[in-house]
Structure 1
Amino acid sequence: MTDLLNTFEAKFIRFNTAIAIGVAISIGIFTLLVPFDFMLRKLRVGGLEWLNEGAEYFLFFGIFLSATWVLQQGAHVRVDIVISNLPVRAAAWLERAMDLVGAVLCAIMAYLGARSTFSSYLLGTLPDKDLRIPNWIILSVFCIAFVLLTIEFLLRYRRAGQHGYVAEASAGF
């Protein structure tokens, strides 16, 4: 069972790294498209009317879907004042308790997101924008992101239970 969990965790980490790379590439593409759109408009040959809303959607997708990678890297916002002033055992216990709280909260958010996604799909709701991606697609990204975060919190709980492990914050990249 341990081997199966280790394999799952390794693949989960690779999956989230791939998502983070995809998000970084999409940000790079939009970074190139903005001046291109500006040039097209200045030359009066048209423009990319969908660009602002497209960037808005992709930033939403990117922020939610890469949140798990950020959590894996320890690059999330975290206050270590309490944990750093506790004995190692108490710090490890508190770390695990907070991982369980995080998993429960993310599971609740995933459930609520799934309900909203299903309702939006049944109603066929669309945003009042030029680039009209159905609301259920947007909400499904929200739901998927919280499922991924729930899994990561449970994996953190598992890691924290091994060898007195206490997660450390990192600088991110």
Structure 2
Amino acid sequence: MAPLIDRFETLFEKFNLCVAVCVAGSIGVFAALVPFDFFSRKLGWRGLDWLNEGAEYGLYAGVFLSAAWVLYKGAHVRVDIILTALPARLSARVERAIDLFGALLCLGMAYFGAKGTLSSYVFGSLPDKDLQIPNWIVLAVFTASFIMLAIEFLFRFRRAGRPDHTISTDIGF
């Protein structure tokens, strides 16, 4: 039986893939709704007044929530010249230090995001937009995404310590 941390990592990978698929689907839905809105307005029908702001919220949530999947895939912006030039043991140590720093940074961002989320919830603040999604929900997406990133950085830290670890270049689905 696999250790609990291995099962959690597998479940977390599947969750991140599910999030990435949902984000890709939402982009597809908005891509289909934009021409629909355009043609419905040209035909004199009522358009989708919420579409522009809905797309803004969707892209915001999509970028933040899929960041952990992008990090897992190694598709984020990263320069591996230094890591590949160093001896294997030193490269693994540098990579682990970077991953640990990334996890700590993300936990700090999640902490401040959680404070902002709670404050916004208490005050009941709303944006000055037609599509009014409470600010605490938007900030909760920010907080959740940084928690997910911290978890992925810690898994990267764990994977970088294994002898069979290689730098991931696998991107896409």
Superposition TM-score tier, normalisation by shorter sequence: over 0.9
Equivalents in 1 of 2:172, 2:29: separation in Å? 22
TM-aligned CA deviation for residue 81 of structure 1 = 1.4
Equivalents in 2 of 1:98, 1:166: separation in Å? 15
- Residue deviations 1:88-133 (CA, integer Å, cap 9, x gap): 1111110100000000000000000000000000111100000000
Structure 1, gaps ≥5 residues long: none
Structure 2, gaps ≥5 residues long: none
- Residue deviations 1:64-95 (CA, integer Å, cap 9, x gap): 00000000111000011111110111111101
TM-score under structure 2 normalisation? 0.96
TM-aligned CA deviation for residue 166 of structure 1 = 3.7
TM-score under structure 1 normalisation? 0.96
Equivalents in 2 of 1:120, 1:166: separation in Å? 43
Find the counterpart in structure 2 of residue 75 from structure 1: 75
Local SS of the residue matching 1:44: coil
The list of structure 1 runs, each at least 4 consecutive aligned residues, that deviate by more than 4 angstroms after superposition, is: none
Change in 2 beyond 3 A, CA 1:172/1:77: farther
TM-aligned CA deviation for residue 169 of structure 1 = 3.0
TM-aligned CA deviation for residue 2 of structure 1 = 6.2
Aligned residues: 173
8 Å CA contact retained: 1:74, 1:172: no
Equivalents in 1 of 2:75, 2:9: separation in Å? 19
Q: CA RMSD in A?
A: 1.3
Equivalents in 2 of 1:43, 1:164: separation in Å? 61
Equivalents in 1 of 2:2, 2:162: separation in Å? 12
